Amino acid sequence: MDKNKVTMDEVVNVAKRRAFIYPGSEIYGGLANAWDYGPYGVLLKKNVKKIWWEDMVMKRPDIIGLDSAILMNPKVWEASGHLKEFTDPLVDCKKCKQRFKADDIKDKVCPECGGELTEARRFNLMFKTHAGPVDDESSLVYLRPETAQGIFVDFKNILDTTRVKLPFGVAQIGKSFRNEITPGNFIFRTREFEQFEIEYFVKSALEAKKAFDEWVKVRLEWYKSLGIHSENLRLREHTKDELAHYAIAATDIEYNFPFGFLELEGIANRGDYDLKQHEKFSGQDLKYFDEETKTQILPFVVEPSGGVDRTVLAILIDAYDKDRVEGEERTVLRFHPRIAPIKAAVFPLVKKEPLIMRAKEIYHQLKEKYFVEYDESGTIGRRYRRQDEIGTPYCITVDFDSLEDGAVTVRDRDTMKQDRVPLVAVQEWLEQRIK
């Protein structure tokens, strides 16, 4: 399907209707830009994170995992530069009191009411809260705006307690928070979001350059491996003036969203900025002892940092399709089987014994290993449509022939081809296709 024809309305609609994504706090009128993952959404999101963890951590000998705390000593953010640099210039309207990003203002007047605007002031994007019962400056803490700093702060512990040798990476998946002034586009930009990040440490600036190019390739291929069409992915190098305060070079992997090509993941060469800053602010030695050269090295770092929610959105949009089946329009989510929330659905052809009993047996057997569904209500056509809309790749039907030949019909979501598979081989048949 031509991606230009998929609208956000269609995606938001199917996401709500089919239990992928709900508006947050909806019965209370919602909360601006907060979203909840429904029963299928959570499976889709978990699959994204599981595959990332398997591909980037489990299968790689040079990467280890970490899960650091969201609340950190406020000095971390002083050292990282976030307290000073992580800001947006804002202007206020003197008349209607609304606040805007200075960069979005074109005519030097309020875009809402035409009123006069204040001078731009810097607004820090970190959420503040207080830890403990005292509500003053001494208890001030921040919700982390990125997971990366947890990795740098634990760098010394990792060196001291594991046997890592440069080059190596530390990977983390977790929630981050940014008080964005203009969030939007569904789950594309939200104030609470989940990241998957790797900090990949190398010995020198030259090696960092090489690792940077390598990571851009590895990460682009990873998105393709999720089934995202390659024509909807592209790379975009940052210009010097858009680089973050810590970065030497950065390239974004962008997806062709209905609202334009925008960032899914950023790969940044952070140099030795972060470890240097944390050495300075913590007073601790964060150097790595290189056995080969018998020297102390402060490593350089390359960071592939992706958005879990953005990846889920790109997958939903990319999988969204419509076609005609038996004269009826069908909405189908063509998820890669590895990503699909539900791997298979099991039906009795009609709601009658002993078909029900046989179908339930298969369902319970498969459910030990996979997320599968059982459905006996409505016509078989209706049941197919329901599974098509949640992207289930295979539907398994027990019919009257099954009682004679001990086989079932397996129907493919995309080709709609039907295969006859022996009952005893169903699990293996499925396993081969959803790897």
- Where do contacts with Zn ion occur on this chain (CB under 5 A)? 93, 95-96, 110, 112-113, 115
Task: Pick the closer one to Zn ion by CB: 94 or 210.
Answer: 94
Task: Pick the closer one to Zn ion by CB: 96 or 205.
Answer: 96
Task: Pick the closer one to Zn ion by CB: 93 or 395.
Answer: 93
| φ, ψ (nearest 5 deg) of residue 220 | -65, -45
Helix (H) or strand (E) holding 312: helix 308-319
Give the burial class of 178: count Cβ atoms within 10 A of its Cβ; 0-12 exposed, 13-18 middle, 19 or more buried: buried
Task: Pick the closer one to Zn ion by CB: 57 or 110.
Answer: 110
Q: How far is the CB of 32 from Zn ion (least distance, A)?
A: 19
Give the strand pairing for 288-290 and 35-37.
unpaired
Q: How far is the CB of 181 from Zn ion (least distance, A)?
A: 15
Q: How far is the CB of 309 from Zn ion (least distance, A)?
A: 31
- What residue has token string 């048949």? 429
Task: Pick the closer one to Zn ion by CB: 92 or 254.
Answer: 92
CA 308/CA 89 separation, integer angstroms: 27
- What three-state secondary structure class fits 27? helix
- What is the DSSP secondary structure assignment for residue 68, as one 8-state letter? -
Q: What is the DSSP string of 147-158?
A: SHHHHHHTHHHH
Give the burial class of 107: count Cβ atoms within 10 A of its Cβ; 0-12 exposed, 13-18 middle, 19 or more buried: exposed
Q: How far is the CB of 106 from Zn ion (least distance, A)?
A: 14
CA 373/CA 375 separation, integer angstroms: 7
Task: Pick the closer one to Zn ion by CB: 98 or 124.
Answer: 98
Q: How far is the CB of 87 from Zn ion (least distance, A)?
A: 22
Q: How far is the CB of 93 from Zn ion (least distance, A)?
A: 3
Single-letter residue type at 289: F
